Copies of this chain bind each other. A is one copy, B any other.
Amino acid sequence: MSAYTSLMAYQRETEALSEIAGRLGWDQETMMPRGASEQRSEEMAAIESVLHARRTDPRIGDWLASAKPSNAVKKAQLRHIRRSFERSQKVPAKLAVEIARATSVAQGIWAKAREANSFKDFAPTLEQIVSLKCEEGAALADGGNVYDALLDDYEPGATTADLEDMFDALRPRLVALRDQIKDADQPPVLQGNFDEAGQLKLSAKLAEVFGYDLTRGRIDKAVHPFSSGSGQDVRITTRTVADDPFNCFYSTIHEVGHATYEQQIDPAYLLTPVGAGASMGIHESQSRIYENQLGRSRAFTGWLHGQMIDTFGDFGIEDPNIFYRAVNAVQDGFIRTEADEVQYNLHILMRFDLERAMMSGGLAVGDLEVAWNDRFLADFGFAVDMPANGCLQDVHWSVGLFGYFPTYTLGNVYAGCLFEALQAAVPDLDAQLSQGNLTAATIWLRDNLQRHGGLYEPRDLIKQATGADPTEKPLLNYLEAKFLDIYNI
């Protein structure tokens, strides 16, 4: 057997075990009896320990040194394996264990602090995690930029400098748009109660029209919607809120974007590194284009409006144009995950700056709450009322996800680029969307992006799909055109 073949056989088994670990996570959020958590921690630790040992096995280094990839796919496979292996070689085992232990404890501490609405209950833990992640970043950076080294885990090839340029270009136009909207007439708010069975039924129909393959997936309820798994078994969850069916519908469409991406990767890549999404940013671009550019379009909401009347009867909004405005309402809010398309990226820009300030030492962790609240007031024009709605709202930092937040905005930027190209490729897109027909859109995304999985680096993938390097301009143009129209500005 060649070194490449041996390495890939080994890797395939690792990927299979990793799918099992992922499904265990799915089970925990959907099916696990509540009294099983202690045993489940041991089970998760056991499989993670097997995976860690496999990923750091010195034979990988030998195989990588001898493997002679004969084509682009094989080169891409090795690129992924090498990145992961080199990363594991750079981080001292003792530090990796310490980070695993600290973040596992920190999540519980964060949840309690959020419940108690008390940042000081979380601050010492966060301080420890920031310090550990700085140490890890320094080990990975090899003298280079520490934050870049962490970012690279989630978005290979992205740099702080590039992101700063992009985000600096986003901020003024987003703020200007948001300020114009604030002064305009506001659309009506959806009111009333929408029964759960109806929400779940229409949610399943939305999953289907967006191309989610239920023979290789399933939909369950969970507290936080997520997508999980790869290849032939990609599961999503959704949730229902009685007076806010949009929460259910757009959570579902968002997760279907993530899930169909995994489902539509070339089956030849099953259980290999290339057989998964290219990066967090690319993944988010798929969930976002499904949810926003397609799902919240005037054309598609026209169809959804009819579906809601069929499902729930008269619910108080008869005019599809008013329905479209209600779906896209821009409103004050503290919470990132509930933010509208215009303000969402302002949340990310703020987190990007704050997490870099903590890592560089420019912001003491103990001062985060004050810094957060000052920045929020400046960016959003109203004050945070309590830490649970402020710096304690996201789980990310507690589990060590530094360098992750910017990939959300990168996803939105990529979605903007892809949507521009999709509109050019499918001239009658709106006519199709107004019939609830996503076929041409999802096939275009499959053929130009999704099927490649991790074959290309993220920026190259976008360039190949759209014909141009990714920039923030298409997203801004799209947002301005859409929301100036909605708000009659």
Instruction: Name the residue in A27, A213, A214 with the highest tally of chain B Cβ atoms < 10 Å from its Cβ.
Output: A27
Q: How many copies does the complex hold?
A: 2
Interface flag for A378 (CB, 8 Å):
no
Interface flag for A19 (CB, 8 Å):
yes
Q: In chain B, what residue has the closest Cβ to A231? A: B39
Would you call B43 and A215 a contact (CB within 8 A)?
A: no
Interface flag for A354 (CB, 8 Å):
no
* B residues in contact with A233, CB < 8 Å: 32-33, 36, 39-40
Q: In chain B, what residue has the closest Cβ to A47? A: B20
User: Nearest chain B CB to A205's CB is how many angstroms away?
Assistant: 18
Question: Which of the segments A9-17, A324-332, A367-375, A440-448 contacts the partner chain?
Answer: A9-17
Interface flag for A322 (CB, 8 Å):
no
Interface flag for A232 (CB, 8 Å):
yes
Would you call B20 and A232 a contact (CB within 8 A)?
A: no
Would you call B216 and A17 a contact (CB within 8 A)?
A: no
* B residues in contact with A12, CB < 8 Å: 42
Instruction: Name the residue in A19, A37, A218, A270 with the highest tally of chain B Cβ atoms < 10 Å from its Cβ.
Output: A19
Would you call A33 and B231 a contact (CB within 8 A)?
A: no
Q: In chain B, what residue has the closest Cβ to A217? A: B33
* B residues in contact with A17, CB < 8 Å: 43, 46-47, 50
- The docked-state distance in angstroms from the alpha carbon of A43 to that of B18 is 9
User: Nearest chain B CB to A270's CB is how many angstroms away?
Assistant: 7
Interface flag for A207 (CB, 8 Å):
no
8 Å CB interface, A185-244 against B: 213-218, 231-233, 235
Would you call B13 and A46 a contact (CB within 8 A)?
A: yes
Would you call B215 and A31 a contact (CB within 8 A)?
A: no
- The docked-state distance in angstroms from the alpha carbon of A231 to that of B40 is 10
Instruction: Name the residue in A39, A49, A213, A271 with the highest tally of chain B Cβ atoms < 10 Å from its Cβ.
Output: A39
Interface size class of A (residues with CB under 8 A): 35 or more
Would you call A232 and B35 a contact (CB within 8 A)?
A: yes
Interface flag for A38 (CB, 8 Å):
yes
* B residues in contact with A49, CB < 8 Å: 13
Known contacts A23-B27, A233-B40; A216 and B35 CB within 8 A of each other: yes
- The docked-state distance in angstroms from the alpha carbon of A33 to that of B233 is 7
Q: In chain B, what residue has the closest Cβ to A12? A: B42
Interface flag for A401 (CB, 8 Å):
no
Give 1 or 0 for each of A37-57: 1 = CB within 8 Å of chain B CB: 111101101110110000000
- The docked-state distance in angstroms from the alpha carbon of A338 to that of B235 is 36
Known contacts A20-B20, A27-B27; A232 and B36 CB within 8 A of each other: yes
* B residues in contact with A270, CB < 8 Å: 39
Give 1 or 0 for each of A311-322: 1 = CB within 8 Å of chain B CB: 000000000000
Instruction: From the candidates B24, B43, B218, name the one contacting A33 in the complex (CB within 8 A).
Output: B218
Q: In chain B, what residue has the closest Cβ to A233? A: B36
User: Nearest chain B CB to A86's CB is how many angstroms away?
Assistant: 24
Give 1 or 0 for each of A465-480: 1 = CB within 8 Å of chain B CB: 0000000000000000
* B residues in contact with A271, CB < 8 Å: 39, 42
Known contacts A40-B233, A271-B42; A24 and B20 CB within 8 A of each other: yes
Interface flag for A94 (CB, 8 Å):
no
- The docked-state distance in angstroms from the alpha carbon of A230 to that of B385 is 46
* B residues in contact with A46, CB < 8 Å: 13, 16-17, 20
- The docked-state distance in angstroms from the alpha carbon of A46 to that of B50 is 11
* B residues in contact with A34, CB < 8 Å: 215
Would you call B33 and A214 a contact (CB within 8 A)?
A: yes
8 Å CB interface, A416-469 against B: none
Q: In chain B, what residue has the closest Cβ to A17? A: B46
* B residues in contact with A214, CB < 8 Å: 33
8 Å CB interface, A349-392 against B: none
* B residues in contact with A50, CB < 8 Å: 17, 50
Q: In chain B, what residue has the closest Cβ to A46? A: B16
Would you call A31 and B218 a contact (CB within 8 A)?
A: yes
Q: In chain B, what residue has the closest Cβ to A16? A: B46
- The docked-state distance in angstroms from the alpha carbon of A27 to that of B32 is 11
* B residues in contact with A37, CB < 8 Å: 232
Question: Can you list 11 A-B pairs, Cβ within 8 angstroms, ordered by A?
Answer: A16-B43, A17-B43, A20-B20, A20-B46, A20-B47, A23-B27, A32-B233, A34-B215, A39-B232, A39-B270, A40-B233
Known interface pairs A16-B42, A16-B47, A32-B233; 6 further A-B residue pairs with C-beta atoms within 8 A, sorted by A's residue number: A31-B31, A33-B214, A33-B233, A35-B215, A36-B216, A50-B50
